[in-house]
Structure 1
Amino acid sequence: MIKTLSDAVTLVEFIVSKQGKSVEEAMQEAEVPLHLRDHVLKYFSPPLQITPPDLITDTIQRIPRCNPDIDSMQQYFGTFQRFLIDTRRWPKSTVGTLAETSLDLIKQLPKPDAAESFKAYGLVLGYIQSGKTANMAALIARAADEGYKLFIVLAGLWKDLRAQTQRRFDQEITGRSDDPADEPCVQHDSNMAPWARLTQSGLNGDFSDMPNNLDARSPHLAVIKKNKRIESLMEWLERCPVPLKDLPAIIIDDEADQGSINTNYGRTDDDGESIDPSATNRRIRELIQKLPKCVYIGFTATPFANVLIDAEEDDLYPRDFIATLPEPPGYFGPRKLFGLGMDPSDLSPHDKHGSPLDVIHKVEDTQMDEIDDVLENGGDDCPEVLSEALIAFLLSSCARLARGHDQAHFSMLIHPSQRTAPHRIVATVISKELELLKAAAIRPAKFPDLLARARKMWEFDFARVTSEQEDTELADYNFDFEKVWKFAKSITESIEVKVLNNYSEDTLDYTGHPKRYIVIGGNRLSRGLTLEGLSVSVFTRMANQYDTLLQMGRWFGYRPKYYDLTRIYVGKEMGDRFAELARVEDELRADLRKYAQKPDPPTPLQLKPIIRTHPTMAVTSRLKMGAGRPVTISFQNTIQQTVSFPVDNKALLRKNLDAARGFVSKLGNAWHSGSDEGIHIWKDLPCTGVIEFLNAYEFSREAHDVNRQNLVNYIKRQNDQNELILWDIVLPLGNPKLEPFSWSTKYLTHKIVRTPMTIQSIKVLSSPSDIEYWREKTGRDSKDPLQGCLILYMIDKESGSEKDMKFFHDPNNAEDILGLVIIFPESKSDATIEYISQ
């Protein structure tokens, strides 16, 4: 009988190879349990198209760089790959992506056998809860193959996070474990030098008992917290029996924006002298300087503080490379969760129209006050929000069992306060409410009100959301309440309530049998720590910094076959901030991608990314702002144009065409329609129509400055100053050699040709002759702040050539592209958009 995924894959693989049957037929013959079939299919799925990271690098190679190819000798990385595929049963496509990404990253590092000493600094930008540790492990394995000998992982500020990271690397990299109950570890070939562990996986396992003897042939791994343990490591290096020049080192700084940033930057003492760097930052710098050959690589999902480090200082700025990892397939992050009208090509199958997934419950202030009252004054009554969230967790867990997820972990997160004292109060209240739910699960007839409440939540919330998803994977999961509730007894009896904070000795152990945890805590839950199978989150704490708020989003990550069962309870203001911040984060990533994809990209030292400010939030802690300074962008007296387009999504392009036709059809009769020129002009139209059109037009993700939010906000701010009140609309003639395009039943022009510079962008859209014609005909003056102009161009879908570049290589998936040119006049006001930059 098949009990595990490993059993299922082994048997299916045997049937496929020996009998020539398809995977589906083999699963049928092997009688693979229903809950394992999707995992088996993923294992045998063909590799996905791999998107490489976007890299901004220093093109001057002072030291030769590593340059392996995909087929190079791979001892440590080879065993790592085999372990993921054969033991972890990861899909081959996922492991293939890891292989390619780590290969791109390793090529940025100096060759460890270089004759002279070197220092290199890099930054890898991933996504929250997106498999960052796997990328670190892959990079370590490849670097060990290249000849790096010392690997130091700075694993956050908390014991359990450090221990979690150590255990993961022991299983996947070193092949050695302190706990016999751990899952199987990677097995190295006998001809390979064994890994030497300088730290252990226990909670106090970082540098409690350092070895005195080292084998210079072996790679060495230390996983330590970002605190005084760094000094312990440096003391050990002082007496290290191997010359440090023979230990080329890589320092991997996990959550590099936390603890590592110099919070004393720019501060001076009474004599005007610069204050020494903050303690952890100073220790990291000293560690780098102590190692003759050293590479420092920061990993983070919130790089706001990192890109604002003064690039001219002797600090941790990533002066050698910045790598932006692509968003992994199946990942649920802030953009997809909050929608925000993003490009449908980036959205998951259930969310094609860019609307947010309806799993976020924005709680009114009065309900949040109930929680605050319990935190301050104690009491036995469970606040309404926590009671509702607890029922939601029970229903979500029951539904997962009904879907066959009996071998999965289920977790709930409650984040009531940074202070630790309230955590036990909440735990007591939750435990009492849990007993009530347990009694209702055993004897439902005695609790009719509670049962009716659970039924209502299932039918009007959970069942409704599931039925609304356009996802074939969920088609068979429209269960009635009875089918779900029958699992309530087993769930309530297996739930453990845990408190995680500085003073708690509670730990999470996901080894062994499936766990059902309700986890209550503060800062320890906000960084790095993984909650397996997280389905329900409650956040009452307000954060006022971009990086803090994003990192609190532990619900981001992978939710295969149960994303519709997740629920998030947040205060209304906090929920709104998350939605706004999703766009800010995406803008920064788009900014870095844009720089990386330029024909002549800047080096990291030349990079000047800008981060949009928010009226009530700080980009990062004031002490971590580094060289960040406010900068403003104004559109006054400029010509703005769309030069990047989401050409990989036909539906989005079609939507823009429909928006343009709808807009033109409402304009009425043109003020001017040239009989020979074929250009159509409308004069003095109200700005409301332009704003409505810009809100309907879907801009490319790559559009940084010229995007909906910037344009609409600027126009509205100018309107408040009685500017940009009136607008002209222009449809240019286009290229008479091309077929005409119908904007409405009355107005036609010709399309234009623009050769792509990259597959998604052009160099310029506007034609100076069109702008000049409009000015001559209307007599418009750029000094008139009342008047704006919008020009619409239709780019022919066949633009480009096979020799150079084309937007579309598949004519069946091609669509004409709508481009916008907006002419802004001079302004007498000071309306601007504010950002932070170096």
Structure 2
Amino acid sequence: MSTQSVIKFAQELLVDEEGTPISPALINSKIDQVLAFKPAWKQDFDRDAAVTELVRRFSLWVGIDTKISSDEGHKPWLNSARKADWRYWQRYREYLEAKMSVVAVDGLDRSTGTILDMLEDPLRDGQWDRRGLVVGHVQSGKTGNYTGLICKAADAGYKIVIVLAGLHNNLRSQTQMRLDEGFLGYETRPIADDIRQIGVGLIDRDPLIRPNYVTNRTNNGDFSTARANNLGITPEQRPWLFVVKKNKTVLERLLGWLRQHVADGKDEHGRKIIQRLPLLLIDDEADHASVDTGEQVFDEEGLPDPDYQPKAINSLTRKILHTFARSAYVGYTATPFANIFIHERGATTDEGPDLFPSAFIVNLAAPSSYIGPAQIFGLKNGAERSDGLPLYREVDDHVSEDGKGGWMPHSHKNGYVPKIDRKSGIPASLEKAIYSFLLTCAVRHLRGQSEEHSSMLIHVTRFTSVQKDVHERVDEFLREVKQRLTRRIGNSETETLLRDLWEEDFIPTTEAAAHDFSHLSGDPEIPDWDDVLNGLLSVINDIDVRMINGTAKDALDYADRKGLKVIAVGGDKLSRGLTLEGLCTSYFLRTSKMYDSLMQMGRWFGYRPGYIDLCRLYTTSELADWFGHIADAAEELRQEFDLMAEAGATPREYGLKVQSHPVLMVTSRLKMRSSKSLMLSFSGQVSETITLHKEPAVLERNCAALASLIDGLGPGEINPQRERDESVQQWRGVLWDSVPASQVTAFLAAYKTHPDAYKVNNALLSEFITKMNAYGELTEFSVALIGARGGATFDVTKTISIEMLKRSAKGAPDRYSIGRLLSPRDETIDLSSEEYSEALRLTQLGWKPDPARSKSETPPTDPSGPSIRTVRGQRHPERGLLLLYVLDPKEAELGDELPPVVAMGLSFPASDSGTKVEYRVTNILWNQEYGGAD
């Protein structure tokens, strides 16, 4: 505790040194000042840990949020005078500064201030309703953000705060505990006979500002009508907090109680409403359960059916909002796509409008210490894609080649008993992952992090019965390892395995992280093996194996103990919101391909101060590929958002744009309001083949399709050059202009895409081009055949040869998968110098620094894909771009005798035509392909 206190006060002294480089020497001098003031803190003080933490905090930088908003019906209100006597926010800020960098706290202050300003003034009379959405990176601190927003809203005058906190008791309880610490300032218990102050309550102990609560932190602490009736609360004086599950029965109770005991008026329809108390409703994981998955009917003029009955959670959430004359709704999510598909005009008499974020959408930036999909699976920096942190380890021994047998088959059912011919009953890869976690706990102990939580996630099935079996096997395996190491009997083989893993994996990974990602890992000292083994013997008996089954106890342990070390075996309960504190090692086999489900399952994202080099992700190559796709797709969507924000677009305009994005084939079909088909548009998108065939017959067919296309194009521009501001760009290959769309669709008809290609389907693309022709768009194409310097030569036709690209194979053995085919640079090949400059200008205008998206704090020097397609749509909506590549099969290790692999990319100009094509899929096929976590 003394170390944390010294860090807090030394940080405040260092903040005053504005303009002075924060060096270890300066930090030590400030620490000496603090200890001179408080000598008692010298006891148990860890100077090295304090200096390291302060160096980390003062090297941090925070990105800039992006927003799109609508001021319709809104009156600006938040000024300095309104903030003058805020006490809830001030004490929360001080609470955070003890744990976080001042830079990060300032960033949170800016974010929450922006969001609150876009809500309505709680003191404003009359009826008003504001609805917004906050999009944060997975595990990036959304709970901390909405806790800050709640504090500020309470200071401003919001009187009732309702937080919808997930579907399960453990997440509701965890959220309640976080708000106990950050907003209430005391522990919530069923009987409030003895107030135990915690968190912010230890900073400002004044009972006169103490918020009231109706729900508490226990397992059955959700909303209860009887408990609420027994509380003598006057919300006009102090705010009132409810933390409730997204549960039909609970929400019905809450709605009934509000109408019977709090309502003080009626509307024109005779409905009971609450007029005197303004409401702030926070919807955590807003894309989950809150979205109406029914099929609402709209008439010819686009007006909704007033008698339509939405799904239960959506209906009750809207009814609660509609019961207040003055209300503000803020959804928080990392995967907003389902929310964007909410019909922006959806409304009923009883529920009022649907939950579309009509007032604003905010994209939160992350601090530079954040570890997200881009950091793990690679960052896009302009035209290049850098490698991610070297933490991923492939798992391929859990299933047979056909996917139907082995320890954990893809399509196993509830009640399945995992079987494997190993003494431990678990795969070697899972044993290695457990050993990795043991080493991580040992090294964190040596680094002075013994009092910090350390967790391992094992997520291999959605079924509780199968999880139970896995839990028993893992628990038995860990017990045997503990006995061998601590009793020193039969320990030789285990110690050898651990030492080999340390020397072959941990040492090189830590060295690589320090060299290539020093801004995340620092330069940690690598201990000797003997020290690691001694450290392991000190901590191994503290490690427990738990099942995460949805009870509040799973969350309570973190609050009540220091340095908890746990291996958590779970499934869907771990998919949403539940934070595994200090998550170090993940063993992850779920095969869902739904965009939002996969992102939410990424519990290994977040913050890993001082131990990121020790973290490991054990998963399949297929899932690693999917996360790479997701990182790219998420970045493109954020770039689209940036462009629209700069152009002053509203959430309604953004919603229309995103609704037909082809990458969202992999979000929940039900949430897309379509039970049998998806309507997709490729306008403003790029489709590239990164999942390819490897069968000789198909490769021959695609080579023939390429040759036939090229033969019909005539002479082209060899090795085209383009002036780019003060430089010249050149491509190796051939460019043809003004190619009729019919020749491109003929090529697509002859070319065979892989059935697992995640957004490239030759038939759909061809149909889309044909439909666009009816509007006078995509009537012609630029066609580029692009080669690589130094590659082996391939004769495409008798007159044209190309140097083949080298792309290494990754992924499943039944396909040839690559990381990325084309770059934004290739998409500019047919742009004039003026068009290129305009695309770069748009990119830089919309760009905001965000370390979760780029290492750089400076604007990009290459135009982004979305800006290129925007300019193309403005200048040449009639012109698409077909990019053709030939990949060397030898470099891909496909075999010496195979033909080259023809790959392609189609870049479509942005368009306002609204043209879409139908993607039909059966329920059975959908479940087989994408699986469901919902």
TM-score normalised according to structure 1 size: 0.73
Say whether residues 1:385 and 2:385 are aligned partners. Answer: no
Say whether residues 1:371 and 2:386 are aligned partners. Answer: no
Cα pair 1:52 1:325 within 8 Å, conserved: yes
Q: CA RMSD in A?
A: 4.8
**What is the aligned partner in structure 1 of residue 28 from structure 2?**
24
**What is the aligned partner in structure 2 of residue 245 from structure 1?**
275
Cα pair 1:544 1:618 within 8 Å, conserved: no
Distance 1:71 1:287 in 2: 28
Cα pair 1:119 1:294 within 8 Å, conserved: yes
My pick for the range that moved more, 115-124 or 603-612, is 603-612
Count of residues paired in the alignment? 703
Say whether residues 1:75 and 2:122 are aligned partners. Answer: no
Structure 1 residue identity aligned to 2:667: T
Q: 2:162 aligns with which of 152, 168, 172?
A: 152
**What is the aligned partner in structure 1 of residue 603 from structure 2?**
554
Q: Kindly tell me: are residues 89 and 581 of structure 1, through their superposed partners in 2, closer, same or farther at Cα, counting changes over 3 Å?
A: closer
Cα pair 1:155 1:225 within 8 Å, conserved: yes
SS in 2 for 1:431: helix
Structure 1 residue identity aligned to 2:78: N
Pairs within 5 Å for 1:641-656: none
SS in 2 for 1:633: coil
Structure 2 residue identity aligned to 1:532: E
**What is the aligned partner in structure 1 of residue 892 from structure 2?**
none
Cα pair 1:177 1:185 within 8 Å, conserved: no
Distance 1:490 1:551 in 2: 34
**What is the aligned partner in structure 1 of residue 367 from structure 2?**
328
Q: 2:327 aligns with which of 277, 294, 297?
A: 294
Q: 2:239 aligns with which of 207, 216, 219?
A: 219
Cα pair 1:794 1:816 within 8 Å, conserved: no
Distance 1:672 1:292 in 2: 64
**What is the aligned partner in structure 1 of residue 295 from structure 2?**
265
**What is the aligned partner in structure 1 of residue 818 from structure 2?**
none
Structure 1 residue identity aligned to 2:646: Q
**What is the aligned partner in structure 2 of residue 468 from structure 1?**
512
**What is the aligned partner in structure 2 of residue 231 from structure 1?**
252
Q: Kindly tell me: are residues 595 and 397 of structure 1, through their superposed partners in 2, closer, same or farther at Cα, counting changes over 3 Å?
A: same
Q: Kindly tell me: are residues 389 and 46 of structure 1, through their superposed partners in 2, closer, same or farther at Cα, counting changes over 3 Å?
A: closer
Structure 2 residue identity aligned to 1:523: D
Say whether residues 1:128 and 2:142 are aligned partners. Answer: no
Pairs within 5 Å for 1:420-819: 420-443=464-487, 446-469=490-513, 470=515, 471-472=517-518, 474-502=522-550, 508-511=556-559, 512-598=561-647, 600-604=648-652, 607-610=655-658, 618-626=665-673, 630-633=679-682, 685-686=733-734, 789=830
Q: CA deviation at 1:267?
A: 7.4
SS in 1 for 2:666: coil
Q: 1:110 aligns with which of 117, 120, 132?
A: 120
Structure 1 residue identity aligned to 2:253: S
Query: Which deviations, in whole Å up to 9, do the C-alpha atoms of 1:258-314 show, x marking residues without a partner?
Result: 01011113479xxx9976211111111111111111111111000010011111212
Distance 1:273 1:817 in 2: 49
Q: CA deviation at 1:80?
A: 3.1
Q: CA deviation at 1:363?
A: 1.4
Distance 2:758 2:550 in 1: 43
Distance 1:619 1:806 in 2: 27
Q: Kindly tell me: are residues 407 and 513 of structure 1, through their superposed partners in 2, closer, same or farther at Cα, counting changes over 3 Å?
A: same
Distance 1:436 1:311 in 2: 58
**What is the aligned partner in structure 2 of residue 342 from structure 1?**
380
SS in 2 for 1:297: strand
Gaps of 5+ in 2: 36-44, 190-194, 265-273, 299-304, 348-353, 687-715, 737-756, 770-779, 788-824, 850-856, 883-903, 909-914, 920-934
Q: Kindly tell me: are residues 190 and 814 of structure 1, through their superposed partners in 2, closer, same or farther at Cα, counting changes over 3 Å?
A: closer
Q: CA deviation at 1:5?
A: 1.0
Q: Kindly tell me: are residues 428 and 508 of structure 1, through their superposed partners in 2, closer, same or farther at Cα, counting changes over 3 Å?
A: farther
Q: CA deviation at 1:161?
A: 0.7
Q: 1:36 aligns with which of 31, 50, 56?
A: 50
Q: 1:397 aligns with which of 441, 458, 468?
A: 441
Q: Kindly tell me: are residues 12 and 263 of structure 1, through their superposed partners in 2, closer, same or farther at Cα, counting changes over 3 Å?
A: closer
**What is the aligned partner in structure 2 of residue 197 from structure 1?**
213
Distance 1:402 1:794 in 2: 57
Structure 1 residue identity aligned to 2:344: A
Q: Kindly tell me: are residues 354 and 836 of structure 1, through their superposed partners in 2, closer, same or farther at Cα, counting changes over 3 Å?
A: farther
Distance 1:138 1:416 in 2: 35
Q: CA deviation at 1:156?
A: 0.5
Distance 1:148 1:435 in 2: 52
Query: Which deviations, in whole Å up to 9, do the C-alpha atoms of 1:204-258 show, x marking residues without a partner?
Result: 1112311453312111110000112111111211232573211100110000000
**What is the aligned partner in structure 1 of residue 896 from structure 2?**
none
Distance 2:180 2:356 in 1: 30
Q: Kindly tell me: are residues 278 and 78 of structure 1, through their superposed partners in 2, closer, same or farther at Cα, counting changes over 3 Å?
A: closer
Q: CA deviation at 1:64?
A: 2.3
Q: CA deviation at 1:112?
A: 1.6
Pairs within 5 Å for 1:179-194: 183-186=198-201, 187-188=203-204, 190=206, 192-194=208-210
Distance 1:37 1:161 in 2: 35
Distance 2:539 2:449 in 1: 12
Q: CA deviation at 1:713?
A: 11
Cα pair 1:588 1:609 within 8 Å, conserved: no
Cα pair 1:149 1:218 within 8 Å, conserved: yes
SS in 2 for 1:246: coil
Q: CA deviation at 1:69?
A: 3.1
**What is the aligned partner in structure 1 of residue 453 from structure 2?**
409
Distance 2:630 2:389 in 1: 17
SS in 1 for 2:80: coil
**What is the aligned partner in structure 2 of residue 782 from structure 1?**
none
Q: CA deviation at 1:121?
A: 1.0
Cα pair 2:456 2:584 within 8 Å, conserved: yes
**What is the aligned partner in structure 2 of residue 91 from structure 1?**
101
Cα pair 1:416 1:522 within 8 Å, conserved: yes
Q: Percent identity?
A: 27
Query: Which deviations, in whole Å up to 9, do the C-alpha atoms of 1:679-700 show, x marking residues without a partner?
Result: 9999994479xxxxxxxxxxxx
Structure 2 residue identity aligned to 1:6: S
SS in 1 for 2:83: coil
Distance 1:194 1:837 in 2: 56
Q: Kindly tell me: are residues 381 and 795 of structure 1, through their superposed partners in 2, closer, same or farther at Cα, counting changes over 3 Å?
A: closer
SS in 2 for 1:107: helix
Distance 2:918 2:67 in 1: 20
Distance 1:618 1:673 in 2: 37
Cα pair 2:165 2:245 within 8 Å, conserved: yes
Distance 2:231 2:391 in 1: 54
Query: Which deviations, in whole Å up to 9, do the C-alpha atoms of 1:663-710 show, x marking residues without a partner?
Result: xxxxx9989999xxx99999994479xxxxxxxxxxxxxxxxxxxx99
**What is the aligned partner in structure 1 of residue 68 from structure 2?**
56
Cα pair 2:661 2:680 within 8 Å, conserved: no
Distance 1:455 1:64 in 2: 65
Cα pair 2:458 2:569 within 8 Å, conserved: yes
Cα pair 2:188 2:215 within 8 Å, conserved: no
Query: Which deviations, in whole Å up to 9, do the C-alpha atoms of 1:505-529 show, x marking residues without a partner?
Result: 6555113321001111111101111
Q: CA deviation at 1:114?
A: 2.1
Q: CA deviation at 1:35?
A: 2.3
My pick for the range that moved more, 450-459 or 303-312, is 450-459
Q: Kindly tell me: are residues 583 and 612 of structure 1, through their superposed partners in 2, closer, same or farther at Cα, counting changes over 3 Å?
A: farther
